[in-house]
Amino acid sequence: MGYWLKLYTDILDDPKYFKLSDNARLGMYEIFLVAKKIEGGELTGNLPSINDIAFHTRRNTKWWTKVIAELTKAGVINNTNGDNPKIRKYAERQRRIPDAERMKQYRKRKNAEDKQDGNEDVTKLNDNATNRNGDKSKSTDIDKKREEKELIKLSAAEKKIINQPDINPFFTIWAQETKLPIKQKKGDTTIQDAAALFGEFIKAGVTPAMFRAAIQGQRADKRYKTTTPKSVKTWAMNSVKKGKERALTGADYKKAYKESWQKWLNVN
């Protein structure tokens, strides 16, 4: 005997459902429950006789005769087995979801939640950024294929490093603000290098908000190129040294560094 039943929300998008009478709609759900109740571990969708259906639902056979006829016409059930109708696509709808599909659905929900919280799946962002950065030329298929070969995918070990709770916000902010991958070609900063740098940030008191402001500030100043997380290290560390515990905007950084440069160059 089954204890619970799966229902799909796409029923509400099926025009045939809204053409059913109120009795037929109610009867549809009740025969689903009856089929689940009597099954012995096999997802057949078979229903008992109309007398047994009437007993399980505490209704009379006259009521069910009309409802089953309407559901049969709508294609919800078929009645090719005499008095024992069968629910169409029952096994397909009630089967256990494969582990891979269930994990895919979980990750999709989790990524949507993280995105709302400003904490997107940085491994996906990194891969997407890599694709955008690598696909610079679309003039010929040859160029595209050559650039695709140069892309470096993240390994499972690297994704595990990125998703560590303490440093994940830094990876996420880097991907959100720069749209650049951590590593683009062999020889670039590795995921391990970036993780170690973000560990330094945490020890020094650099918050994710400070890191975001440092990126924004450096990118606002045309004298500097923001290519890797390490290129923002000075800006991020100086925010702590100056005792700025709030997230500075790009304009704040630009003003502060302009003043420091003027002082160093003795420019009035």
At residue 14, does pLDDT exceed 70?
Answer: yes
Q: Amino acid letter at 80?
A: T
Q: What is the mean pLDDT of residues 117-144?
A: 51
Q: Tell whether the model's pLDDT for residue 214 goes beyond 70.
A: yes
Mean pLDDT of the chain: 76
Q: Let me know how long the chain is.
A: 268
Q: What is the pLDDT at residue 13?
A: 87
CA distance linking residue 99 with residue 196, whole number of Å: 34
Average pLDDT of span 63-67: 93
* 46: three-class secondary structure by DSSP: strand
At residue 151, the pLDDT reads 45
Q: What is the pLDDT of residue 82?
A: 56
Give the pLDDT of residue 30. 93
**What is the percentage of the chain residues whose pLDDT exceeds 70?**
69
Residue 4 in this model has a pLDDT that exceeds 60: yes
**What is the pLDDT confidence band of residue 58, given thresholds at 50, 70 and 90?**
very high
Write out the two tokens for 101. 């599909």
Whether the CB-CB separation of 189 and 228 falls below 8 Å is answered with: yes
* Cβ count within 10 A of residue 25: 17
Query: Distance between CA atoms of 149 and 132, rounded to whole angstroms?
Result: 14
Q: What are the pLDDT digits (tens) for 131-168?
A: 544 444 444 455 444 444 444 577 888 888 888 989 99
CATH number of 9-94: 1.10.10.10
User: CA angle, corner 85, sides to 4 and 88, nearest 5?
Assistant: 60
Residue 34 has pLDDT above 80, yes or no: yes
Residue 246, phi then psi, degrees to nearest 5:
-105, 165
Of 246, 178, 161, residue with least CA distance to 216 = 178
Query: Is residue 9 very low, low, confident or very high in pLDDT (cuts 50, 70, 90)?
Result: confident
For the chain, where do the domains classified as CATH 1.10.10.10 start and end? Answer: 9-94
How far apart, in whole angstroms, are the C-alpha atoms of residue 195 and residue 178? 17
Contact (Cβ atoms closer than 8 angstroms) between residue 114 and residue 107:
no
Average pLDDT for residues 36-50, to the nearest whole number? Answer: 81
CA distance 255 to 214: 13
pLDDT of residue 147: 43
Query: Which residues are within 8 A (CB) of 9 and not within 5 positions of it... i.e. 6 or more apart?
Result: none
CB 229 within 8 A of CB 259: no
81, 80, 83, 82: which is closest to 64 by C-alpha?
83
| Residue whose pair of structure tokens reads 């990125």 in the numeric block | 162
How many contiguous H segments (helices) and E segments (strands) does the chain have?
A: 14, 2
For the segment 77-97, the average pLDDT, to the nearest whole number, is 73
Angle at the Cα of 62 (from 57 to 67), degrees rounded to 5? Answer: 70
pLDDT above 60 (res 84): yes
* Range with the poorest average pLDDT among 4-13, 53-62, 103-112: 103-112
Distance separating alpha carbons of residues 180 and 178, to the nearest angstrom: 5
pLDDT tens, 179-204?
A: 887 765 555 668 888 899 999 999 98
Q: Give the Cα separation of 109 and 130 in Å (integer).
A: 24
